[in-house]
Amino acid sequence: MTIDTTTRPHPLNRDFQWQDVPPDRVLRALSPAQVDAFDRDGFLRIENVFTPEELAAVARAIDPIEAAHEKYVSEQQGGSFRLTSSGTITFTAHIVKQSQTLRDFAAHPAIRDIAHDIMGDGIRLYWDQSVYKKTGKKQEFPWHQDNGYTFIEPQQYLTFWIPLADVDEENGCPWIVPGLHRGGTLEHWVTPIGLKCLEDAQGVAVPGKAGDIILFSSLAPHRTGPNLREGSIRKAYILQYAPDGAYTIVDGEEVRQDDEERQFLIEPAP
């Protein structure tokens, strides 16, 4: 693993200490070995979590929402809006607000149990978005940490990267740098295609099958390569969960992340 040694902590990352899963936590879904691997590496692939029928329902719910967003960006934003680029990649956020199917899926029992095993009790959905990577331009998405986009306390939260079809190195599976999550949020800088925290890193490719979950920490640096499979769309649904009471820091202000319309509890505190 090669890491750019010029990286620095995020300005808001002060005295961070990674919190391992307590050894006395009663696990519902993961094995102790999986929990240890997550704490060590910052990511985990969990196989065969969802049925084909469940994923097909999710894709049917997302596809028209994503198509409407693509049309809006193409026709009203000149083909580029925030991180979305027409024909290349679309990010369609907060879509649990538009679909009961997606809202139900975000509270799926398997997701709830896995989140509990890593985070404990008192868990909210923080963010949801589809990411559809297309072939109009061969474009990667650069090394970043999820907490680098909007700084959250506590810094540790969870990303469930759920492929809706098989993903591999050819069509843009995630690459993750193991171990670097334990230092907390890194400083990021702006590029034309998104924020970036590493210039030179050799991560681990994490392919997945439809039905798997690629689980990683909000602090795990990751990237995705371009979709090189002509005529295909690499579809993923990304769900992020933070502890109840988590807040973002924007312009020095603390903003609680508890909008019940899109940030509902999936695991209440006892």
Q: State mean pLDDT over 226-251.
A: 96
Position 131 confidence tier, pLDDT thresholds 50, 70, 90: very high
Whether pLDDT at 7 is above 90: no
- Cβ atoms of 153 and 249 closer than 8 Å: yes
Report the pLDDT value the prediction gives residue 250, as an integer from 0 to 100.
84
- List, for residues 181-192, the tens digit of each pLDDT value: 999 999 999 999
Average pLDDT, whole number, for the chain?
95
Whether pLDDT at 135 is above 70: yes
Whether pLDDT at 2 is above 80: no
Structure-token pair, residue 50: 């969802």
- Cβ atoms of 46 and 213 closer than 8 Å: yes
Report the pLDDT value the prediction gives residue 6, as an integer from 0 to 100.
61
The angle, 0 to 180 degrees and rounded to 10, between the axes of the packed helices 109-119 and 32-41 is 70
Whether pLDDT at 3 is above 70: no
Q: Is 120 left (phi over 0), alpha (psi -120 to 50) or beta?
A: left
- Please state, in angstroms and rounded to a whole number, the distance separating the CA atoms of residues 167 and 106: 21
Q: State mean pLDDT over 6-28.
A: 94
Report the pLDDT value the prediction gives residue 4, as an integer from 0 to 100.
45
Position 232 confidence tier, pLDDT thresholds 50, 70, 90: very high
Assess if CATH 2.170.130.30 describes domain 32-259: no
The 3-class secondary structure across the chain, one letter per residue, is CCECCCCCECCCCCCCCCCCCCCCCCCCCCCHHHHHHHHHHCEEEECCCCCHHHHHHHHHHHHHHHHHHHHHHHHHCCCEECCEECCCEEEEECHHHHCHHHHHHHCCHHHHHHHHHHHCCCEEEEEEEEEEECCCCCCCEEEECHHHHCCEECCCCEEEEEECCCECCCCCCEEECCCHHHHCCECCEEECCEEECCCCECCEECCECCCCEEEEECCCCEEECCCCCCCCCEEEEEEEEEECCCEEEECCEEEECCCCCCCCEEECCC
